[in-house]
């Protein structure tokens, strides 16, 4: 159900990129503005990113198999990482073109028509970006969110370029056009860096965001207050999928059946608190000293001293 929806929106992004490339290229040819040229170049990056997004969403939606027991959802990070890198490459090309025009300024032509075409392209990007951002957040897709943020950056970039062209016409200072293009390049670098950083964090199995981690701990709080303890809580995110694992400690006199019922309840509470989460629990005895030897990723590794509190292991 999720796959066709996301792929459909990726196709929407591709169509928008093709439309904006065409319109912005026409605007550049009409005016000769290097600022508008920078806008067109970034739209080419939008198209490549949208095609990459479509490919990786297709891979990410594949079910788990023998070679990928945890699914393929991490493929989304490759899409956002590639798109972020392409953004940085586009920024470099824009900066080079702007520096050349700064050294050899040229007059602009047919500004009114060119700006009207550019505004039309920006409105297309704005509409598609709003749709992608909403769907990306609803479906927890980093690929669609990254694509939407890129399109929104393109909108603000276009706004800056339009202001630069208008300023050139108003003041007659031709170097304002390449100066604005350089500012555009700097803004693109900032956006590209953030997208790449988020992708790297995902590939490095970074913990869930603070609000989601707090929701996990809140789901466990009632059981801890009942005398149950837990430790070795680990979380990570893989595309739209979250993973949570923990060890639950109960009195040694409990039956296996009672312990199993507790774990089922804990897992259900966590699934209700955090979307798209897979929960792994391990039952241990409060009365067995060995239960306190596996707090770290590797059993027997010494644990750093920490104050006892919610979710801390008993020393």
- Tell me the CATH number at 226: 3.30.70.1350
Tens digits of per-residue pLDDT, 197-239? 877 877 777 889 899 999 999 998 878 767 789 999 999 887 7
Q: Which residue range(s) make up the domain with 6?
A: 2-203
Residues 140 and 236 in one domain: no
Tens digits of per-residue pLDDT, 71-97? 787 787 887 788 778 778 777 877 887
By CB atoms closer than 10 A (0-12, 13-18, 19+), residue 171 is exposed
Residues 127 and 193 in one domain: yes
Residues 148 and 245 in one domain: no
**Which DSSP state fits 75?**
H
Residues 176 and 225 in one domain: no
Residues 228 and 187 in one domain: no
Q: Is residue 167 part of a domain?
A: yes
Residues 120 and 259 in one domain: no
> Tokens 């009114």 correspond to what residue?
112
Query: pTM of this prediction?
Result: 0.64
Q: Is residue 284 part of a domain?
A: yes
Q: Which of 203, 236, 262 is the last residue of a domain?
A: 203
Domains in the chain: how many in total?
Answer: 2
Cα–Cα distance measured from residue 19 to residue 100, given in angstroms and rounded to the nearest whole number: 28
């Amino acid at each position: 159900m999720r796959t066709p929806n996301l792929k459909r929106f990726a196709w929407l992004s591709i169509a928008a990129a093709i439309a904006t490339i065409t319109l912005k290229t026409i605007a550049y040819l009409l005016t000769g503005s290097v600022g508008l040229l920078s806008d067109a170049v970034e739209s080419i990056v939008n198209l490549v990113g949208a095609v990459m997004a479509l490919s990786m969403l297709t891979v990410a939606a594949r079910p788990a198999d023998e070679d990928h027991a945890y699914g393929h959802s991490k493929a989304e990070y490759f899409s956002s990482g590639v798109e972020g890198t392409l953004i940085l490459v586009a920024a470099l090309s824009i900066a080079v073109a702007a520096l050349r025009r700064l050294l050899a300024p040229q007059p602009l032509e047919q500004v009114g028509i060119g700006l009207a075409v550019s505004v039309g392209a920006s409105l297309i990007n704005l509409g598609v970006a709003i749709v992608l951002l909403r769907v990306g957040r609803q479906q927890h897709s980093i690929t669609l969110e990254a694509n939407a943020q890129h399109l929104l950056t393109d909108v603000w970039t276009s706004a800056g370029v339009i202001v630069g062209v208008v300023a050139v016409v108003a003041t007659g200072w031709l170097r304002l056009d390449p100066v604005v293009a350089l500012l555009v390049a700097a803004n693109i670098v900032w956006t590209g860096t953030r997208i790449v950083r988020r992708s790297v964090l995902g590939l490095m199995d970074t913990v869930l965001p603070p609000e989601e981690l707090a929701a996990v701990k809140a789901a466990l709080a009632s059981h801890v207050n009942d005398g149950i303890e837990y430790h070795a809580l680990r979380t990570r995110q893989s595309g739209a999928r979250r993973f949570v694992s923990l060890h639950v400690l109960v009195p040694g006199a409990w039956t296996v059946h009672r312990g199993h019922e507790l774990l089922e309840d804990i897992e259900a509470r966590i699934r209700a608190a955090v979307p798209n989460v897979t929960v792994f629990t391990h039952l241990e005895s409060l009365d067995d000293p060995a239960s306190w030897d596996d707090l770290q990723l590797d059993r027997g590794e010494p644990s750093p001293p920490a104050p006892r509190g919610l979710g801390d292991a008993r020393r």
